[in-house]
Amino acid sequence: MDEDMEILDDTGESLNLDSRLTSIPLDALRKSARSKIALYLDDQSDIIDEECGYVTDWNGLAELIGFTALEMRKFSRQKSPTQDLLVDWESTPALNPTLGNLWKYLIELGRLDVLQDCRSIVIKDAENYILMRERLANDYLPVQENQVSQSSAPDHYVDETRMLVTGDIDGSITLFDAFVCYNADSTGKDIFFVKDMIKKLEKEYDLKLCVPGRDDLPGGSRYVTDAKLIESRCKRMIIVLSHEYLHSSACDFQVKFAHALAPGARSKKLIPVLIEPSVPIPQILRHVTLCDYTKNDLMEWFWDRLAKSVKAPLDPEPSRMGSSIESSSPMSIPSSSSLQSQASLSPSQSLSSIENYRLSNDSIKNAQRQLSESASMSSNDSGFHSSSFHSHGASSLQSNQSSFSNEYTSLSTESFPTSSSKSREKKKGTNIFGQIKAKVSGKKYNNHTSSQA
């Protein structure tokens, strides 16, 4: 059948398409038109058109379009082979999927019944498609300017990291306690755990979390936004470890970037949370302590432990108690002022002050011992004559004095043979013993006189 020949229905009305509609793409057909065409062509037919030699159902249409036998077997397994055929045809530009070609092939198959019953709905869809294209052409505003942007264009100097999250719209900089690293594309347990964590940490512990997909603004560079939030806006990073996490390239970048900021984990910037058992821990996190959500016996401590790890300061100051203990420790290092004052003394002055301290202590101890011995003798031997007691006490004090003088002389001679300060100390020691001797003699004499009376 000649495609240029005009086809008329029973009433004499033309069944041909207008020339302005023949170039309309096949995707202009909506659901109703496709379903109506399929009602006619899905029915299996054994009739072969004598002029074209094709079966007059969807199989003949598929052969005319140019589909292979393998593709036709695929169509036969579908609920509606015709609709599946139309979908594959419009997605293959090499087969020229237009309304004009569809109409031509139906005419070749001799399916005038399809042309007559479906013509009105096909024309309606084609005209709606034309109107839609015209409306879009009038209302559409291009993203780029008419002129090609050069290196001096103003947008090159725009700071794209100024507004990263929804809270930045009012002009303020939004800061967070922790960045939540999880697979946002996951449909499993990850998103449910993140929602539970938001309820716990934000409502009960008054923390502020940065959750990708909830807080970040769309339209910016994904990795630039993540890097800036992790580095400048978030104090910690909570890593939700699961099987889905291991398949996320975004999570891999976020963790490696945060680890590069704190490679030794001394500031505890990374907080891994294990939410599924038997998940292989990445090598980069094996040295970091985990929060295990899979152990039921630890659940009563889990949220409090996680919240406190987020609240902990990044660089804690040493406690006052620790500093006071260090200052009072016997192993504490002397102050620099005391070291300087000691270093300013000459060796002879240092030794002289040490010897004077030793001699003064020795003289006082000897005097106290002599007094105690004399008091005990007076209480036990009250019949002694005053002269004998006096001579006994005097001789004892003189002997001790002479021993003290000899010891002092030997020390001073050994250390400083010509020191004038040692001779002065020697005289001072002699005067002290003389005064003690006089006091002891007078006390003994008085006690002896009172006993005779």
Q: Where are the domains of the chain?
A: 19-137, 166-311, 347-452
Cβ atoms 192, 276 nearer than 8 A? no
180 — phi, psi (to 5°)?
-95, 115
> How far apart (Å, rounded) are the C-alpha atoms in residues 147 and 189?
49
Q: Count other Cβ atoms within 10 Å, centred on residue 123.
A: 16
As given in the structure block, the two tokens for residue 376 are: 């005990």
pLDDT at 274: 94
Residues 6 or more apart whose CB falls under 8 angstroms from that of 298 comprise: 292
Q: Which residue has the tokens 């980069």?
A: 284
Note whether 19-137 and 166-311 share their fold.
Answer: no
Where does 199-295 have alpha helices with state H?
222-228, 249-261
As given in the structure block, the two tokens for residue 171 are: 């002009």
Helix (H, G, I), strand (E, B) or coil at 270: strand
Query: Measuring CA to CA, which residue among 293, 291, 453, 299 is closest to residue 386?
Result: 453
Q: What is the pTM of this model?
A: 0.40
pLDDT at 265: 61
> How far apart (Å, rounded) are the C-alpha atoms in residues 441 and 453?
19
Q: Count other Cβ atoms within 10 Å, centred on residue 218.
A: 7
Query: Measuring CA to CA, which residue among 155, 173, 154, 153 is closest to residue 163?
Result: 173
Q: Which residues pair with 241 in a beta bridge?
A: 274
Cβ atoms 106, 40 nearer than 8 A? no
Q: What is the phi-psi region of residue 147: left when phi exceeds 0, alpha when psi lies from -120 to 50, beta otherwise?
A: beta
Q: Does domain 19-137 have CATH number 1.10.533.10?
A: yes
Cβ atoms 64, 109 nearer than 8 A? yes
Would you write out the chain's pLDDT as a tens digit for each of its 453 residues?
445 566 766 666 777 888 888 889 998 999 999 999 999 998 887 777 666 778 888 998 999 999 999 999 999 999 999 999 999 999 898 999 999 999 888 888 888 888 888 888 999 999 999 998 888 877 655 555 555 554 454 555 667 778 899 988 888 889 999 999 999 887 778 999 999 999 999 999 999 999 999 999 888 888 889 999 999 999 999 999 999 999 999 999 999 999 888 776 666 689 999 999 989 999 989 888 899 999 888 888 999 999 999 998 877 665 444 444 444 444 344 444 444 444 444 444 444 544 554 555 565 666 667 666 655 554 444 444 444 444 444 444 445 445 444 544 444 444 444 445 545 554 545 555 555 555 555 554 454 444 444
pLDDT at 314: 77
Measured at the CA of 82, the angle between CA 79 and CA 87, to 5 degrees, comes to: 100
As given in the structure block, the two tokens for residue 280 are: 């292989």
As given in the structure block, the two tokens for residue 7 are: 């086809």
> How far apart (Å, rounded) are the C-alpha atoms in residues 59 and 41?
9
DSSP 165: B
Topology of the domain comprising 166-311 = Rossmann fold (3.40.50)
Burial-class residue 113 by CB neighbours within 10 Å (0-12, 13-18, 19+): exposed
Give the H/E segment covering residue 398: helix 386-415
Q: Count other Cβ atoms within 10 Å, centred on residue 260.
A: 11
Q: Which residues pair with 64 in a beta bridge?
A: none
Measured at the CA of 280, the angle between CA 275 and CA 283, to 5 degrees, comes to: 115
pLDDT at 98: 92
- Give the per-residue SS3 of 79-101: CCHHHHHHHHHHCCHHHCCEHHH
